[in-house]
Amino acid sequence: MKEGKSKGVRKVKESKAALIFGTFVALMHLIWSIMVFLGFAQGYLNFILGLHFLNNPYTVSAFNLTNAVILIAVTFVIGYLVGWIFASLWNKLHKG
């Protein structure tokens, strides 16, 4: 690379960004599902909302494997779409 010239902003691969973001969001919900299964979710929810000076109006339901699988799958798909849209917008806004 010659002095004084820069390559600019790199293009982001839509599929890679989508997969990374979808996996991250699904992993967060997998962790939440495990917390519900182990019985830690209500205490965690009370703690986090308490840090924000909020009373918790919610109670965590009993663990249901079907709901957990659907939650993780749906959040992966939504995260994948958000990651794809973000990468597409990034690439369009940073064309050089």
Does 1 score more than 50 pLDDT?
no
Answer yes or no: pTM beyond 0.75. yes
> Binning pLDDT at 50, 70 and 90, where does residue 37 land?
very high
∠ Cα 82 84 87 (to 5°): 105
Question: Would you place residue 95 in the very low, low, confident or very high pLDDT band (cuts 50, 70, 90)?
Answer: confident
Q: Are 90 and 12 in contact (CB under 8 A)?
A: yes
